[in-house]
Amino acid sequence: MRTLITGGAGFIGSHLSEYLLRQGDHVTVLDDLSTGSLHNLRDVAGHERLTFVEGSILDRSKVREAIAGADRVFHLAAAVGVRRIVDHPLESLRTNLHGTEIVLDAAREVNAIMLLASTSEVYGKNTSDRLTEESDRILGSPLKSRWTYAAAKGIDEAFASAYWHTYGLRTVIVRMFNTIGPRQTGAYGMVVPNLVGQALRDEPLTVFGDGLQTRCFSYVGDVVPALVRLCEEPSAYGEAFNLGGDLEVSILRLAEVAIELLGSRSTITLVPYAQAYGPGFEDMRRRVPDNTKAERLVGYRPTTRLEQMILNVAASQSAAEGPRDTDLTT
Ligand code: UDP
């Protein structure tokens, strides 16, 4: 298999690159290194089946160069992170809309299977007590910068679906729910690397709002094999799949567990949303995936426990040259 990974030097992309190289693929990584870094690929640097192309998904000729000969594309490149989206809504729209269309066009030219990395953000302000199924959606206002990402990714999904229905391009949509693990940076707002870093430095842990909002964190080592299996399953074409964790935890509890587990002397500070992200910010109160669809089709089942995820993230931040992620090497 010849595989292109856009955003392959990012957090999830670098784990996927390693996984596919271990499987024997020829892997090309296209990354503009805006939020990703070559350091993330250090364990596979110089690999004979790895090609790195530096460039943006907005650069059509770079995308064409990188995709030449590819059988499949994992389109992970995007402007991500609530902090970054709130600060740079235009960048998010341009990269996530125009860039995806360019990648879809290029995939069509070489008839590659195309997996679109989407997000649980597309569920918007879903506050229901039910588990979130693939068909649920409550849009946030496009005038609130937080929802820019959700709006763009929602349209990306519509594009992927339309390429499937119009051209027969084999597309698979995957909505990832708070994927975490080694190499994820807290710089763009992600809560786990943020809180773990604060705990390791014995600084106060910043919990936004009342801390009772919940998430189901999933581990990159569980998610990556499922991405690959979904791409290999013809009945996945034109469909969307949730991939999330199975433990619902409040952010306050997450902070307590991190402090306990890491033997930190930190305390917890509640920070009002307006102070964290600016006035009028809207959070998602509850975000719980229904993973049944991916479980039925490719046997997806999250197995890594929250405590293990936190320890692996902490090890990644502590180690001078970064950790070997043992879960991924098994
Ligand atoms: N959060 C927090 N402290 C932080 C960063 C985030 O309490 O330092 C909260 C955030 O408001 C949200 C949850 O943690 O309720 C998850 O945030 P993240 O940005 O990781 O993901 P998302 O909001 O997309 O689920």
The interface pTM score, or ipTM, of the predicted complex is 0.98
The one catalytic residue among 149, 219, 277, 300: 149
In this prediction, the residues of the chain whose per-residue pLDDT falls under 50 are 320-330
Q: What is the pLDDT, as a whole number, of residue 320?
A: 40
Q: What is the pLDDT, as a whole number, of residue 135?
A: 77
H helix count then E strand count, the chain: 13, 13
Calculate how far, in angstroms, residue 255's C-alpha sits from the geometric centre of ligand 1: 11
| Residue with CA nearest ligand 1 atom 6 | 191
Calculate how far, in angstroms, residue 292's C-alpha sits from the geometric centre of ligand 1: 25
Calculate how far, in angstroms, residue 213's C-alpha sits from the geometric centre of ligand 1: 9
Active site residue 273: no
Query: What letter represents residue 192's amino acid?
Result: V
Euclidean distance between CA atoms 313 and 253, whole angstroms: 17
Q: What is the pLDDT, as a whole number, of residue 325?
A: 44
Q: What is the pLDDT, as a whole number, of residue 326?
A: 40
Q: Which residues line ligand 1 (CB under 6 A)?
A: 82, 178, 189-191, 194, 206-208, 213, 215, 251, 283
Q: What is the pLDDT, as a whole number, of residue 327?
A: 40
Calculate how far, in angstroms, residue 178's C-alpha sits from the geometric centre of ligand 1: 9
Helices 191-200, 306-318: crossing angle, 10 deg rounding = 60
Residue with structure tokens 């707002």?
A: 189
Q: What is the pLDDT, as a whole number, of residue 127?
A: 66
- Looking at the DSSP bridge assignments, the partners of residue 178 are none
Pocket test for ligand 1, best of 153, 191, 259 (most atoms within 8 A of CB): 191
Cβ neighbours of residue 56 closer than 8 Å, sequence gap 6 or more? 32, 34, 62, 95, 99
| Cβ neighbours around 247 below 10 Å, total | 15
